[in-house]
Amino acid sequence: MQSTTLHPYIAAAYRVLETGEPITQAEAYKLAELPGELVLDLASLAHKVKSRYANEAETLHACSIMNAKSGVCGENCRFCAQSRHNNASIEVYDLASEESVLIEARNCVAEGVSHFGIVTSGYGYKAITPEFQRLLGMIDRLHAELPALNVCTSLGVLGEAPAAALAAHGIAHYNINIQVAPDRYHDLIADTHTAEERIQTIKLLRKHNISVCCGGILGVGETMQERIAMIFALQELDVTVIPLNILVPIKGTPLAGKEPLSVADIVKTFAICRLAHPRKIIKFAAGRETIMKDFQGLLMLSGANGYLTGGYLTTRGRDVADDRRFASQIASFN
Ligand code: SF4
């Protein structure tokens, strides 16, 4: 039942709870104007929408990733430690062996994580190269040895043949983020490739019936309006999972000195994302431990229903076991 004391913008958004229909972009812009003292009212609505429309697992969706090829990337993504245009100090290595990927995946299964993502640095694969063949071999090996594990990949921009091959080899989800509102990609993320190339990859994946995991990064210099534009761009792309990352400024990258977003703005963004995508899996990825710190649980009560656990590509995360305890406590709020 909706309270009569709710702010009119939030009261209007209760329609999502009643009907399951998303807010409009115009409504999202209005919700973005809410002052800090009303953010928890918005978060509460987002949590109720999540519980009613996106709670089929009755717990949080957890996944882990492995950086299977690290660094020396020719692209110039401003947030990324792996770009050779930047000067971050990271471990650099070529594609990992099948054995080492299998070991990581077994650890993932042992820790009770259902989805495991193989991630490679670089632009992507427009054709089936020998390296891409090795990746296909890894996927097959994981399916054969760990049949209960959902194998996902994040390999950058794809061409027709690699996308078709991934479909044939049965991946669970393919991750490729649009990062920001597409018309701001060139200024805020990179100019060695375009948002359109990533969008075309998403369309190709959907053509091959591959489920897409696609979201963005918050805090790279975008405005709240542009963040909302990114959230609504995802509506048109028919994605299944929406990972939201918060920029963790890394020394040696152009965004090293970037001021972190306020907790209130981050909570507001997650809540608006839930109201725009009532039924999707919305995952809290990078920035959970380092930026949100004491407030990370709040995002799980503001519309998120999943998280990336066990670390990120070039930064460490929280222990999987700690995350599991955390998830079971959060589930009691549903
Ligand atoms: S985000 Fe990916 S494409 Fe961009 S620099 Fe990093 S590894 Fe390269």
The amino acid occupying position 170 is G
- Residue 302 lies inside a defined structural domain of this protein: yes
Give the CATH number of the domain where residue 64 resides: 3.20.20.70
> Taking residues 67-81, what's their average pLDDT?
90
Give me the domain span that covers residue 267: 8-331
- Assign 310 a pLDDT band (cuts: 50, 70, 90): low
Tally Cβ neighbours within 10 Å of residue 116: 25
pLDDT of residue 312: 52
Q: Which tokens hold the place of 103?
A: 């070991």
Q: Is the minimum distance from the CB of 27 to ligand 1 under 6 angstroms?
A: no
- Residue 2 lies inside a defined structural domain of this protein: no
Q: What's the CA-to-centroid distance between 3 and ligand 1, angstroms?
A: 46
- Assign 319 a pLDDT band (cuts: 50, 70, 90): low
- Residue 3 lies inside a defined structural domain of this protein: no
pLDDT of residue 30: 95
> Taking residues 90-113, what's their average pLDDT?
89
> Taking residues 139-160, what's their average pLDDT?
95
> Taking residues 85-99, what's their average pLDDT?
87
- Residue 31 lies inside a defined structural domain of this protein: yes
- Name the one residue in this structure whose structure tokens are 């053509």: 207
Which residues lie closer than 8 Å to 147 by C-beta, 6 or more apart?
none
Mapped to the 3 state alphabet, what secondary structure does the chain carry? CCCCCCCHHHHHHHHHHHHCCCCCHHHHHHHCCCCHHHHHHHHHHHHHHHHHHCCCCCCCEEEEEEEEEECCECCCCCCCCCECCCCCCCCCECCCCHHHHHHHHHHHHHCCCCEEEEEECCCEECCCCHHHHHHHHHHHHHHHHCCCCEEEEECCEECHHHHHHHHHCCCCCEECCCECCHHHHHHHCCCCCCHHHHHHHHHHHHHCCCCEECCEEECCCCCHHHHHHHHHHHHCCCCCEEEEEECCCCCCCCCCCCCCCCHHHHHHHHHHHHHHCCCCEEEECCCHHHHHHHHHHHHHCCCCCEEECCCCCCCCCCCHHHHHHHHHHHHCCC
Q: What pTM value is reported for the model?
A: 0.90
- Residue 125 lies inside a defined structural domain of this protein: yes
Q: What are phi and psi of 62, to 5 degrees?
A: -115, 140
The rounded distance, in Å, linking the Cα atoms of 303 and 278 is: 9
- Residue 121 lies inside a defined structural domain of this protein: yes
> Taking residues 228-252, what's their average pLDDT?
92
Task: Give the pLDDT confidence of 38-73 residue by residue, as tens digits.
Answer: 999 999 999 999 989 987 655 678 888 889 999 889
- What average pLDDT does the chain have? 89
Look at residue 292 and tell me whether its pLDDT is greater than 60.
yes
pLDDT of residue 60: 72
Top pLDDT among 297 and 107 is at 107
Per cent of the chain over pLDDT 90 is: 64
- Residue 175 lies inside a defined structural domain of this protein: yes
Angle at alpha carbon of residue 171, lines to 166 and 173, rounded to 5°: 110
- Name the one residue in this structure whose structure tokens are 């800090």: 36
Residue 72 contacts residue 92 (beta carbons within 8 Å): yes
Residue to substitute in 83, 154, 253, 313 for testing ligand 1 pocket (most ligand atoms within 8 angstroms of CB): 83
The rounded distance, in Å, linking the Cα atoms of 227 and 267 is: 13
- Residue 161 lies inside a defined structural domain of this protein: yes
Domains contained in the chain, number: 1
pLDDT of residue 300: 81
Top pLDDT among 56 and 293 is at 293
Q: Is the minimum distance from the CB of 154 to ligand 1 under 6 angstroms?
A: no
Q: What's the CA-to-centroid distance between 123 and ligand 1, angstroms?
A: 7
Q: Is the minimum distance from the CB of 46 to ligand 1 under 6 angstroms?
A: no
- Assign 4 a pLDDT band (cuts: 50, 70, 90): low
Q: Is the minimum distance from the CB of 83 to ligand 1 under 6 angstroms?
A: yes
